[in-house]
Amino acid sequence: SLADAAAVQPSTLVRLARHLGYDGFTDFQTVFRDRLKDRASSYEERLQSLEKGITGDSYEGALLSGFLSSARQSIDSLSEAINPADFARCVSVLAEAETIYIVAKRRAYPLAALMSYTFGKLGVRTVTVDSANGIDQEIVQMATPKDAAIACSFAPYAPATVEQAQALTRNGVPLVAITDTALSPLASCTKYWLEVSEHDFAGFRSLSASMALTMALPVAVAERRRLRG
């Protein structure tokens, strides 16, 4: 149960829900369930939603404007919500690593590609856990406590990302998670995590804020290493 995973009594979750203005924990859960349900809608359903929601002569222009608006909202929300101290703690963990292992699948995979490229150009050694020959598990097992890892996933959460992140932490590898809520399975397996929530347009979510965050992270890590000498 959620209470067991959080290592608290069920009554604690009820009190939390009431403190946040809900009648009980069931109402509190409904908010997250509806959010997950919206994210799980099919791409065909999202296209149908677009057809109903966009009117006027310039369909393409309205479409572009909608995506730009949601991207701007995502970046503004991240700017307001992120705690610089949390970001600095994550940078410290990664800056001490001999090798940084990067784990991101499915929709989050572009984040892995961007970080791998940026770290590489900055001279920071990384390994992206994305083997064409199916040896991801063996790659994960090579990581040691002297290394660190970054795992990125958003609801509905790629099972392989969650499994590999958990395997890394079991092996004592410091893990930085980038995810969308404190209830994420990635947030539950590390004390170093950053929350980023992308706004959607008709159910489609870009990675605008996530890309900004995963660009800043490698640059900050490389700069921390440079200053350390």
Number of domains in the chain: 2
Residue 44 lies in a domain: no
Residue 185 is part of which domain span?
81-228
Tokens 């909608």 sit on residue: 66
Mean pLDDT in residue range 131-152: 96
Token pair for residue 140? 């994960």
- Residues 16, 88 within the same domain: no
29 and 115 co-located in one domain: no
- Within-domain flag for 173: yes
When mean pLDDT is compared across 9-18, 48-57, 145-154, the lowest value belongs to 48-57
Question: What residues contact residue 201 under an 8 Å CB cut-off, 6+ apart?
Answer: 66, 67, 69, 70
Q: Are residues 170 and 224 in the same domain?
A: yes
Task: Report the predicted TM-score, pTM, of the whole model to 2 decimal places.
Answer: 0.80
Q: Is the dihedral of CA 98, 222, 77, 107 positive or negative?
A: negative
Residue 73: inside a domain: no
Distance CA 51, CA 49 (A): 5
Q: At 60, is the pLDDT very low, low, confident or very high (cuts 50, 70, 90)?
A: confident
Instruction: Kindly state the average pLDDT of the residues 137-144.
Output: 97
What would the pLDDT profile of 27-39 be if each residue is shown by its tens digit?
666 666 655 555 5
Please list the alpha-helical segments (H only) found in 20-135. 25-39, 43-53, 59-81, 84-95, 109-121
CATH number at residue 130: 3.40.50.10490
What CA–CA distance (Å, rounded) separates 23 from 75?
32
Tens-place pLDDT, residues 183-202:
899 999 999 999 999 998 88
Q: What is the pLDDT of residue 148?
A: 99
**Is residue 34 located within the same domain as residue 114?**
no
Residue 55 predicted with pLDDT over 80 = no
Is 43 a residue whose pLDDT tops 80?
A: no
The sign of the torsion formed by the CA atoms of 160, 163, 167, 172 equals positive
More confident residue, 201 or 74: 74
| Residue 196 in domain | yes
pLDDT at 36: 56
Provide the pLDDT confidence category of residue 133 given band limits of 50, 70 and 90: very high
Percent of the chain with pLDDT over 90: 65
The separation between the first and the last C-alpha atoms of the chain, rounded to the nearest angstrom, is 47
